[in-house]
Amino acid sequence: MILNISGRTDIVAFYTNWLMNRFNEGYVDVRNPFYPRSVSRIFFNDVEAIVFCTKNPKPILPYLDKINIPSIFQVTCTPYTSDIELAVGDKKEIIDSMIELSRRLGKENVVLRYDPILINDKYTVDYHERAFERLCSLLEGYVGQVIVSFVDEYKNVNRHMGKLKIKQLSEEDYIDIGKRLVKITNKYGMSIQTCYEKNDLSSVGFIQSACCTKELAYRLTGRSNFPKWKARDCGCVEMVDIGAYNTCGHYCRYCYANYDEKNVTLNRKNHDEKSSLLIGYLDENDVIKVRKK
């Protein structure tokens, strides 16, 4: 079993104390987002690898030595300010944390996510080009893989469209952006790819791949028979997400996981780092099933 921590919220940035309590207890409970009374219980002894996804790895750095499960970190770092990312931490600290991760885990286990790319009058293609080169120059030698995506029209995006003022991109625009980014990653010795994108940029040097391939799963676990992730038609191997939607404190205007922002503050108030669940508690009506690998 491979855990995804997490595509539903940023557990590392906001809930590391809870996560480490769950490691210490040996298991974690996860509500099904579509059937809330259905709870999966996952014992960490059944976990073969972890894919951490975060915008801020700093809170977990003191605990890395206590996580005795093969892990990789996919860290998202984008050049937006508080008009787009309302509460993302200091970008310099995030980059410094990525460098420390690389030194401790190896550069093959730290991936830069530059996503999503959105273009408007402020965040132009030229702006992204300059910001991306600056980012890659700081991470040269510490990161070898970059994953890129473009903004999608999620509920939250549509809700904030008046503020985002996103420009629609043509095929020529995608090719232009792709060429610029490839030139930069080549300069700094990095590969670049998209994951789950309609636009095929392989003609300009992008790798067509997934975020968690069978090859990566084999490297982490020694096992090659992981099925594709049914929950997402993206080519990744199956992972189990232990997060919860509408709980992320970054409040990014392009976010898909905070699709009901009115509930985010309420949900975060219902977080108890001593609970087996990320949000709230188990009750007598819950049906708990142990999830095996």
| β 38-43/27-31 pair status | antiparallel
Domain holding 40, by residue range, is 2-290
DSSP for 137-165, written as a single string: HHHTTT--EEEEEE----HHHHHTHHHH-
pLDDT tens sequence across 19-67:
999 999 999 999 999 999 999 999 999 999 999 999 999 999 999 999 9
| H or E stretch at 130 | helix 125-139
Give dist(CA 248, CA 117) in Å, integer.
20
Instruction: Find, among 49, 55, 54, the residue nearest to 213 by Cα.
Output: 49
Q: How many domains does the chain have?
A: 1
Alpha-carbon torsion angle 274, 275, 276, 280, nearest 10: -160
Residue whose C-alpha is closest to residue 255's, from 10, 4, 13? 10
User: For 75-87, how does the pLDDT look when each residue is reduced to its tens digit (9 = 90+)?
Assistant: 999 999 999 998 8
Q: pTM value?
A: 0.94
Cβ atoms 71, 109 nearer than 8 A: yes
Residues 6+ apart with CB under 8 A from 203: 175
First-residue to last-residue Cα distance in the chain: 5
Residue 31: how many CA atoms within 13 Å on its side-chain side? 19
Q: Considering only CA atoms, which of 116, 109, 42, 52 is closest in space to residue 78?
A: 116
Token output for 283: 């009750």
pLDDT digits (tens, 9 = 90+) for 90-111: 999 999 999 999 999 999 999 9
**Among candidates 103, 13, 10, which has minimal Cα distance to 57?**
13
Contact 56, 12 (CB under 8 A): yes
Q: What is the pLDDT of residues 133-169, one digit of tens each?
A: 999 999 999 999 999 999 877 666 777 777 788 999 9
> Could you give the angle at which helices 125-139 and 91-105 cross, rounded to 10 degrees?
40
Q: Using 50, 70 and 90 to split pLDDT, how confident is the model at 89? A: confident
| Polymer length of the chain | 293
